[in-house]
Structure 1
Amino acid sequence: MTPVSTDTVEVGSRPPEPAPATNRGVTVVLYVLTAAVPALAALGLLVAMGTSARPGRGTPTGSGPADHSVQLFVSIAVVILAARLFGRLAKRLGQPQVVGEIFAGLCLGPSVLGALVPGAGSWLFPVELRPVLQGLADLGLIALMFVVGQETRQTSLKGQGRVATAIAHAGIAGPFLGGALLAILLYRDWAGPQASPVVFAMFLGSALSITAFPVLARILAERGMLRTLLGRLSMLCAAIADVVAWCLIAAMTAVAGRDTPARAVLTVTLVIVYGAAMTWLARPWLTRVFAALEGREEMRLLVLLAGLLVSAAATSAIGIHAIFGAFLYGLCCPAGSLTRLTERINSVSGVLLLPFFFVGTGLRTDIWRSGFDTTLLGVTALVIVVAMLGKLTGPMLMARASGLSWPDSATLGVLLNARGLTELVVLNLGLALGLLSDRLFVVLVLMALVTTAATAPLLGLLDRVTSHRDRSGRGL
């Protein structure tokens, strides 16, 4: 018998056919003729059609948002990396991180990058992308002012309120007087197109009275002074001074640029009504809402962000800047229970959003276009001297009269002299309102950078003088 094969063949299937032998050279030629050449020809045809298209025949005449997607993503990466790099360099040099971030923004603007590589600045930050970058900067500012409001709310006046209030008032009155005197000197040639003499004097006085509350807190933390008596007292003074200064700026903003006195009165009235409503109605309501949402962090974050944006929109609709609504919302939210959420908002805005504010400031600061001459340098030096004398002298003398030693009084004055980021917020507001000329904006930006950068060296000098006196006293 013929043996039966044990191999089975599935019904309907065919054994695989062997692969045909191929000639590699022929395959390459055929690929070039059938794939590469038609693809390149089609691409060339599309390019030719695009360059020869005439406006008005269905072809857009300008660049749409999609045309700048590459620049947008590259500029975001450059801004964030530059801010972090310059911030770390500043910390290594013993400066607050914000000094490096401000300097990074100036370097990416026309004063440095635009002067060295003109094409790079216009490619990174084309005009079409400016609204997007400004939107990111505005979100960062709103988050910052909320954090400042929360930190101000958490600063207790217990046991030191009288002394802190007196020192804070001295830290406002001196710089305000200096700013008003500068306004008399600078108004004719340096004021903006929308500035009346009174409003210009109010703005300069308020701008010189500002203390950078967030910068001060970070300086104290880096030096281990945050929990000391002097550190707490300086925080109290800065909180009181900034609340008063922001109230003055809000009033000035409500008046500036109004067509009629009746409109200005209406805006001021609405601001007062909104502030009272937030203080007497929203504040206890927010306390109850966040207490009811205890343990539900995502819901609390949602309510927090929604309320923040609504408050910012409300003050913007009234006629003053959205940052005032954010600051007031931070003052009204309960202190202590929102610490973790506030830290989350602060970390995200500090890394992702605030660098765009620094870049926006840098793009508006063009030293060369403003005329970098002896007049500009002389006015800058004068403004720096007046700003520093006002902030150093008044608080130092009042602190000494309140019982502090001369070294502690001098340290307090130096700490309150740091203006930093908060000063830039005020200056950008003044420029947007037409109260500052471009040249005076450059001068005041340089003043903010110098007064903030001078804080660490002055504190180090005071430490050395104090330690030398202690050693001399022990030797005697």
Structure 2
Amino acid sequence: MLGDGTDVTDTSVFLSVGVALIAALVLGEVVDRAGEPVILGEILAGIALGTYMLGVIDPDGAFALLASIGAMLLLFDAGYEEIDLGKLEQSGASVVVVALLGVGVPAVAGFATGVVFGYDPTASAVLAIAFGVTSIGVSARMLFDVDRLHTQYALHIVGVAALAEVVGLTAFSLLVTQQAGASLFQYVRILALVAAFFAGVFVVYRLLIGRFARMLGGSNQPNSELIGIMGLLFLFGYAADAVGLDAILGGLVAGLIVGTDRRFRRAQIREGIVGIAYGVFIPLFFVSVGARLDPSALLQFDPFVATVVTAGVGAKVGGGYLGGRLVGHDHADALIVGIGLLPRAGAELIVATSALAAGIIDQRLFVAVLALVLVSVLTAPLLLTRAIRRADAST
């Protein structure tokens, strides 16, 4: 509040955040006591409080910004603490193999489903993208909740999810450009921006991160390492979003790079992040995921919607399973890979909403994608927990 009585802050977001956190805590406790992952309770809290039910939370505006910070912090922590960039580089070929099946099989199934139900190739391509991508944030949190982010199959899941999101969002940008009758230059520009982002990442990783760490190490300011790394996190998030990708990928990249420098590892940056991240921002991200979902998408039977959900779930789990087996996972771990790639929530909603607004898809296809997102985010944590328990019991 300024001296002239002008209110420059919309404090209604405080109410949304407070209610969201309490609801996430309560429902998270309920599902945890029932032996299920906490993420499920946070998503259910979002569904109850979101746009299509109580309307307490508007998942856009200021709340969306806070949720986005949570998503970036979640992936930063995964990259910094749990995923070894050296191992990820060594596993690059196997990640690509798993992606060819875990992304390629469902994408083909999605396109074929659209064609069979009479949609044109452009609308069917949107469905292919929705089938192929994976919510990297949901997958990483599921694995974190069951303390499996350090495993080889988790590395494959997160690597494939990141690759799928990059390919999916880039493909959608090209699709929209094609639909608008753009020139060759505009196609090249989209690809060049994505390439420039990863070129910049490589330069920071190979040439700058060590210098940055030494500079921060020589600072007399308290918490200089934490402040500098948070600055790097937000810059990477902005850069990823600016080239048409998702800011969450910037968080993952920042975590992976920071985790490679021994000075930052010694500084124990995670201690300064984990409390506020998992206590505030990360739960808000999953509440936001739930708040965007319309449960009524499942109330009326539509053969097309039912086919999209069934084929989307089956092709994703099946493709991921085959990919996992092909790179050497046993049956139990390959099934975990397939289930870990199942959830859709971020890029899928972006693609479906943008395609509907651009007139590329109709309301029926949009509802079908929403139903697939809803089923995948609610069933994946349950299925993953059971698959890991069976795998542990068999060893």
Length-normalised TM-score, structure 2: 0.77
**Residue of 211, 215, 227 corresponding to 1:302:** 227
Contact in 1 for aligned 2:43/2:286 (Cα 8 Å) = yes
1:214 and 2:143 are equivalent in the alignment: no
How far does the alpha carbon of each residue in 1:419-444 deviate from its partner, in whole angstroms, 9 at most, with x for none? 57x73222332245335755234312
Contact in 2 for aligned 1:253/1:320 (Cα 8 Å) = no
1:233 and 2:173 are equivalent in the alignment: no
2:16 partner letter: S
How far does the alpha carbon of each residue in 1:63-106 deviate from its partner, in whole angstroms, 9 at most, with x for none? 9666x63x433322111111122222222222222111111111
Q: Relative to 1, partners in 2 of residues 1:173 and 1:410: Cα closer, same or farther, differing over 3 Å?
A: farther
Question: C-alpha displacement at 1:170, in angstroms?
Answer: 3.2
Question: C-alpha displacement at 1:217, in angstroms?
Answer: 2.9
- Residues paired across the two proteins, number: 373
2:50 counterpart SS class: coil
**Residue of 280, 297, 310 corresponding to 1:352:** 280
How far does the alpha carbon of each residue in 1:317-357 deviate from its partner, in whole angstroms, 9 at most, with x for none? 34444334333333433436445324643442332123333
Contact in 1 for aligned 2:79/2:254 (Cα 8 Å) = yes
1:242 maps to what in 2? 161
2:241 maps to what in 1? 316
1:434 counterpart SS class: helix
Contact in 2 for aligned 1:175/1:208 (Cα 8 Å) = no
Distance in structure 1 (CA, Å) of the matches to 2:272 and 2:305: 38
Distance in structure 1 (CA, Å) of the matches to 2:276 and 2:201: 26
Contact in 2 for aligned 1:140/1:354 (Cα 8 Å) = yes
1:27 maps to what in 2? none
2:87 counterpart SS class: coil
Question: C-alpha displacement at 1:456, in angstroms?
Answer: 2.0
Unaligned 5+ segments in structure 2 are: none
**Residue of 363, 371, 374 corresponding to 1:443:** 371
1:418 and 2:340 are equivalent in the alignment: yes
Distance in structure 2 (CA, Å) of the matches to 1:364 and 1:351: 21
How far does the alpha carbon of each residue in 1:205-257 deviate from its partner, in whole angstroms, 9 at most, with x for none? 43259695423532542xxx666xxxx22023213312321220241243254
**Aligned-pair Cα RMSD in Å:** 3.8
1:451 partner letter: A
Q: Relative to 1, partners in 2 of residues 1:286 and 1:156: Cα closer, same or farther, differing over 3 Å?
A: same
2:299 maps to what in 1? 372
Question: C-alpha displacement at 1:402, in angstroms?
Answer: 5.7
1:274 and 2:206 are equivalent in the alignment: no
1:272 partner letter: A
Q: Relative to 1, partners in 2 of residues 1:403 and 1:414: Cα closer, same or farther, differing over 3 Å?
A: closer
Distance in structure 1 (CA, Å) of the matches to 2:115 and 2:278: 37
Q: Relative to 1, partners in 2 of residues 1:92 and 1:157: Cα closer, same or farther, differing over 3 Å?
A: same
How far does the alpha carbon of each residue in 1:378-415 deviate from its partner, in whole angstroms, 9 at most, with x for none? 555434433443344345445556665xxx42343234
Q: Relative to 1, partners in 2 of residues 1:249 and 1:158: Cα closer, same or farther, differing over 3 Å?
A: closer
Q: Relative to 1, partners in 2 of residues 1:371 and 1:350: Cα closer, same or farther, differing over 3 Å?
A: same
2:36 maps to what in 1? 95
Length-normalised TM-score, structure 1: 0.66
1:279 partner letter: F
Distance in structure 2 (CA, Å) of the matches to 1:460 and 1:270: 43
**Residue of 260, 265, 269 corresponding to 1:335:** 260
Distance in structure 1 (CA, Å) of the matches to 2:274 and 2:158: 18
Identity of matched residues, %: 21
1:374 counterpart SS class: coil
Distance in structure 2 (CA, Å) of the matches to 1:282 and 1:226: 22
**Residue of 22, 44, 65 corresponding to 1:81:** 22
Distance in structure 2 (CA, Å) of the matches to 1:209 and 1:424: 5
1:474 maps to what in 2? none
